[in-house]
């Protein structure tokens, strides 16, 4: 196993640990099994995210998480403040799926307007915080791509896993120690508006 990568079994164990943390923190991550293989698990979450065109914004949008009042809804609001006139609230669906090819988790997601229209790849890229845009400018379409979901077979946006093992080898030198999935999501989630509540690491 390459440095910074984990096995499918380790991913399943990490997913169960992360799901337990989600329940303890009243978050809405769900742990699901593949319809093709019960031993293949993945995590899902839906939430509302304030989307701003950061190619013209001088500051990053303030995206934070708070639970919606309606307990019947599976969505969770990620907004600390009402959207500004130049931004809009969109529904994001995030999936964490294991890639056997790369030996790492992969973040898949789709984003929709309130009317149910799928956001374009350009719109998604423009909503990425400016410092990430600057960092990935020359490889933007290799980092952020649209691919078929490996389990559901539907088009999803994807944060490409090509650099994940290298990133994780620096964050967690020994991949099997610590909470690999939590560390990974804390590092990559903010690129596409997904933040891990501080309570995950303080409780």
Return the domain boundaries, the chain: 8-195
Question: Active-site residue among 47, 78, 90, 162?
Answer: 162
In percent, the amount of the chain with pLDDT more than 90 equals 50
Q: What is the mean pLDDT of the chain?
A: 82
Residue 30: its H or E element: strand 30-33
Rounded-to-integer distance, Cα 61 and Cα 126, Å: 12
* pLDDT at site 85: 47
Residue in the block written with tokens 């992969």: 106
Average pLDDT over residues 35-47: 94
Report whether 19 contacts 63 (CB < 8 A): no
- Higher-pLDDT residue of 178 and 78 is 178
Highest mean pLDDT among 51-60, 75-84, 163-172: 163-172
**Check: CATH 3.30.1130.10 for 8-195?**
no
Least confident of 36-50, 72-86, 91-105: 72-86
Q: Classify burial at 49, counting beta carbons within 10 Å of its beta carbon; exposed 0-12, middle 13-18, buried 19 or more.
A: buried
Residue 71 has pLDDT above 70, yes or no: no
Residue 25 has pLDDT above 70, yes or no: yes
Alpha helices in 25-136 (DSSP H): 121-127, 130-136
* pLDDT at site 152: 96
Cβ-proximal residues to 79 (8 Å cutoff; 6+ apart), any chain: 48, 49, 50, 63, 64, 66, 89
Confidence (pTM): 0.81
Q: Is 78 a catalytic residue?
A: no
């Amino acid at each position: 196993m390459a440095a910074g990568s984990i096995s499918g079994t380790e991913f399943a164990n990490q997913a169960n640990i992360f799901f337990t943390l989600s329940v303890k923190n009243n978050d809405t991550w769900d742990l699901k099994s593949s319809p093709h293989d019960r031993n293949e698990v993945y995590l899902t979450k839906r939430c509302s995210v304030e989307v701003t065109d950061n190619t013209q914004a001088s500051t990053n949008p303030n995206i934070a998480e708070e639970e919606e009042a309606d307990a019947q809804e599976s969505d969770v609001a990620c907004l600390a403040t009402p959207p500004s006139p130049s931004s809009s609230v969109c529904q994001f669906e995030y999936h964490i799926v294991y890639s056997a090819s790369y030996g790492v988790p992969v973040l898949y997601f789709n984003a929709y307007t309130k009317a149910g229209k799928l956001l374009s790849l350009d719109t998604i890229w423009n909503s990425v915080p400016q410092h990430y845009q600057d960092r990935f400018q020359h490889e933007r379409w290799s980092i952020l791509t649209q691919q078929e979901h490996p389990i559901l077979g539907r088009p999803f946006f994807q944060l490409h896993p090509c650099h994940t093992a290298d990133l994780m080898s620096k964050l967690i030198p020994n991949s099997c120690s610590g909470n690999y999935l939590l560390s990974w999501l804390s590092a990559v989630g903010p690129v596409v508006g997904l933040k891990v509540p501080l309570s995950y690491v303080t409780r």
